[in-house]
Structure 1
Amino acid sequence: MTPETMIRARVVGGGFDTAADEMSATVTRTARSPIFNEAHDFTTGIFELKDGKARLVAQAPGCTLHLYAICPAVQAALDCFRNDLHPGDLILASDPYDGGTHIPDHVIIQPVFADRKPVFFPVVRAHFADSGGPVAGGYNPAARDIWQDGVVVPPIKLYERGERRTDVFDMVLANNRVPDWLLGDLDAMRGACLTAQARIERIVGRFGIGETRAALETNIAYAERRVRAEIASWPDGDYYAETFIDHDYQGGHDIRVACTARVRGSDVTFDFTGTAPQVNGFVNSPIANTLSFVFVAIASVIDEDVPVNEGYIRPVTVIAPEGTVVNPLPPKPVGNCTCICGAEIAEVALLALSQCAPKRVGVNCHKLPLAYSSGRYEDGKPWISLNFHGYTGGAGAAYGTDGWGLYPPLMTGVILPSIEMNEMQYPIRIEKHEYERDTAGAGRWRGAPGVRTRIRFLAENITNAMLAGVRHPTRGFCGAEDGPPNALTLIEEAGRTEVTEVIYNRHLAANTAIEFLRGGGGGWGSAADRPVDEVVADVANDYVSAGKASEQYGVVVDTTALEVDQGATDQRRTKMARSQPG
Structure 2
Amino acid sequence: MDKRSVVLSQVIGGSLNTIADEMSATVTRTARSPVFNEAHDFTTAIFEMNGLKSRLVAQSPGCTLHLYAVAMAVDRAIDAFKHDLQPGDVLLASDPYNGGTHIPDLVVVTPVFRDRKPVLFPAVRAHMGDVGGPVAGGYNPHARDVWQDGLVMPPVKIVERGERRTEMLDLLVANNRIAHWIEGDLASMIGACEMAGRRIEALLDRYGLDTVRDAIQANVDYSERRVRAEIASWPDGEYVGETFVDHDYQGQRDVRVVCKATVKGSDLTLDFTGSDPQTKGFINSPIANTLSFIFIALTTCCDEDIPINEGCMAPVTCIIPEGTVINPTRPAPVGTCTCSAGAEVTEAVLLALGRCAPERVGVNAHKMPLAFSYGSYDDGRMWVFLNFIGFTGGAGAAYETDGWGLYPPLMTGVILPSIEMTEIQYPSRVLKHEYVADMTGAGRWRGAPGLETVTQHLVPSLSSVMMEGVRHTAKGFAGGEHGAPNRVFLVESAAADAIDVPEYAFMHALPPGGMLRTVRGGGGGWGPAIERDPDAVREDVLDGYVTRDGALADYGVVLDAALELDRAATERERARRVAA
Query: Which category of TM-score, normalised to the shorter sequence, fits these structures?
Result: over 0.9
CA 1:8–1:566: 2 relative to 1, 3 Å: closer
Please give the alpha-carbon distance, in whole angstroms, between the structure 1 residues aligned to 2:24 and 2:481.
38
C-alpha deviation, 1:8, in angstroms: 1.1
Structure 2 equivalent of residue 561 of structure 1 = 562
Q: Distance in 2 between matches of 1:3 and 1:569?
A: 57
Counterpart of 1:78 in structure 2 is: 78
SS in 1 for 2:181: helix
Counterpart of 2:526 in structure 1 is: 524
Q: Secondary structure at the match of 2:498?
A: strand
**Other structure's SS at 1:314 match:** coil
TM-score, structure 1 normalization: 0.98
Distance apart, 1:234 and its partner CA: 0.7
- Contact 2:442 / 2:482 at 8 angstroms: preserved in 1? yes
Query: Paired residue for 1:245?
Result: 245
Map of 1:94 onto structure 2? 94
SS of residue matched to 1:258: strand
CA offsets 1:102-137 (integer angstroms, 9 cap, x no match): 000010010111111111111000001101101000
**C-alpha separation in 2, matches of 1:9 and 1:73:** 27
Q: What is the aligned partner in structure 2 of residue 128 from structure 1?
A: 128
Task: Give me the whole-angstrom Cα distance separating, in 2, the residues matched to 1:4 and 1:395.
Answer: 42
State the SS of the aligned residue for 2:136.
coil
State whether structure 2 residue 124 is matched by structure 1 residue 108.
no
Deviation at 1:577, TM superposition (A): 2.0
SS in structure 1 opposite 2:130?
coil
Aligned equivalents of 1:526, 1:404: Cα separation in 2 = 19
Whole-Å Cα distance in 1 between the matches of residues 37 and 556 of structure 2?
Answer: 46
Match of 2:541 in 1: 539
Structure 1, residues 193-222: CA drift from partner, whole Å, max 9, x if none? Answer: 111111111111111111111111111111
- The equivalent of 2:49 in structure 1 is 49
The separation in 2 between residues aligned to 1:436 and 1:229, in whole angstroms, is: 41
Query: 1:392 & 1:405 partners in 2: Cα distance?
Result: 9
Identity, % of aligned positions: 60
The equivalent of 2:406 in structure 1 is 406
Inter-partner Cα distance in structure 2 for 1:566 and 1:168: 70
2-structure distance, mates of 1:511, 1:534: 41
Match of 1:552 in 2: 554
* Separation (CA, whole Å) in 2 of partners of 1:87 and 1:234: 46
Matched residues in 2 for 1:467 and 1:179: separation?
29
For the residue of structure 2 that corresponds to 1:484, the secondary structure is coil
Q: Which residue of 1 aligns with 2:264?
A: 264
Per-residue deviation, 1:566:
3.3
Alignment of 1:187-336 (within 5 A): 187-336=187-336
| CA-to-aligned-CA distance 1:273-325 (integer Å, 9 cap, x gap) | 11111111100111111100011111111111111111112111211111111
Q: Secondary structure at the match of 1:359?
A: helix
For residue 131 of structure 1, what is the amino acid of its counterpart? V
Instruction: For 2:425 and 2:137, locate their aligned partners in 1 and report how far apart those are by CA, in whole Å.
Output: 16
Residues in 2 aligned to 1:441 and 1:58: alpha-carbon distance in whole angstroms: 35
Cα deviation, residue 434, structure 1:
0.3
Residues 1:390 and 2:390 aligned together: yes
Any idea what the Cα deviations from partners look like across 1:446-477, whole Å, max 9, x if unmatched? 00100000001101111111111001000000
1:434-453 equivalences in 2 (<5 Å): 434-453=434-453
Q: Which residue of 1 aligns with 2:578?
A: 577
1:83 partner letter = H
2:56 and 2:68 in contact (8 A); partners too: no
Kindly state the Cα deviation for residue 445 of structure 1 after the two structures are TM-superposed.
0.3
Give the superposition deviation at 1:569: 1.8
Q: Aligned residue for 1:156?
A: 156
Q: What's the counterpart of residue 500 of structure 1?
A: 502
SS of corresponding position for 2:192: helix
- 2:49 maps to 1:36: no
Q: Deviations over 1:541-569 (max 9, x none)?
A: 121111111111111111x3222333432
Q: Partner residue of 2:516?
A: 514
CA contact (8 A) 2:390 2:453 kept: yes
In the alignment, structure 1 residue 474 sits paired with structure 2 residue 479 = no
- CA displacement, residues 133-181 of structure 1 (integer Å, 9 cap, x when unaligned): 0100001111111000001000000011111112211111111111121
Structure 2 distance, partners of 1:431, 1:168, is 41
Shift of 1:2: 0.5
Equivalent AA in structure 2 for residue 400 of structure 1: E
Q: Which amino acid aligns with 2:570?
A: T
Distance in structure 2 (CA, Å) of the matches to 1:250 and 1:59 = 37
- Structure-1 separation of matches of 2:99 and 2:117: 24
Query: Counterpart of 2:179 in structure 1: which amino acid?
Result: P
When normalised by structure 2's length, the TM-score is 0.98
Separation in 1, partners of 2:388, 2:169: 29
Q: Distance in 2 between matches of 1:20 and 1:578?
A: 56
Q: For residues 419-450 of structure 1, give each alpha carbon's deviation from its aligned partner in whole angstroms, at most 9, with x where no partner exists.
A: 00000000111000000000000000000100
Q: How far did 1:326 drift?
A: 0.7
Structure 2 counterpart of 1:335, which letter? G
Could you tell me how far apart the structure 2 residues matched to 1:383 and 1:137 are? 10
Q: Deviations over 1:391-422 (max 9, x none)?
A: 11111000001101111221111011100000
CA shift in 2, pair 1:290/1:578, >3 Å? farther
Amino acid at match of 1:18: T
Q: For 1:14, what is the secondary structure of its paired residue?
A: helix
CA-based RMSD: 0.9
Secondary structure in 1 aligned to 2:138?
Answer: coil
User: Are 2:436 and 1:454 equivalent residues in the alignment?
Assistant: no
**Displacement of 1:15:** 1.0
Can you give the 5+ residue segments of structure 2 that lack an aligned partner in the other structure?
none
Please state whether the residue corresponding to 2:137 is helix, strand or coil: coil
Partner Cα distance (1:405, 1:51) in 2: 41
Q: Is the 8 A contact 2:548 2:563 kept in 1?
A: no
Letter in 2 for 1:41: D
> What is the distance in 2 between the residues matched to 1:317 and 1:179?
42
Give, in whole Å, the separation in 1 of the partners of 2:388 and 2:510.
Answer: 18
Aligned mates of 1:121, 1:298 — CA distance in 2: 24
- 3-state DSSP of counterpart to 2:274: coil
- Inter-partner Cα distance in structure 2 for 1:119 and 1:401: 41
Distance 1:59 1:563 in 2: 48
Amino acid at match of 1:290: T
Tell me, in whole angstroms, the C-alpha distance in 2 between the residues paired with 1:98 and 1:365: 28
CA distance in 1: counterparts of 2:212 and 2:329, whole angstroms: 40
What SS does the aligned partner of 2:285 have? Answer: coil
Trace 1:354-365 onto structure 2 (pairs within 5 A): 354-365=354-365
Give the C-alpha shift of residue 49 in structure 1: 0.8
The CA distance in 1 between the partners of 2:9 and 2:382, in whole Å, is 49
Q: Which amino acid aligns with 1:349?
A: V
Counterpart Cα distance in 2 of 1:369 and 1:259: 24
Q: Name the amino acid aligned to 2:258.
A: A
Shift of 1:508: 1.1
Query: For residues 411 and 61 of structure 2, what CA distance do their matches in structure 1 show?
Result: 11
Unaligned runs of 5+ in 1: none
Q: Distance in 2 between matches of 1:12 and 1:543?
A: 45
List per-residue Cα deviations over 1:506-527 (Å, max 9, x = no partner).
1111111110000000000011
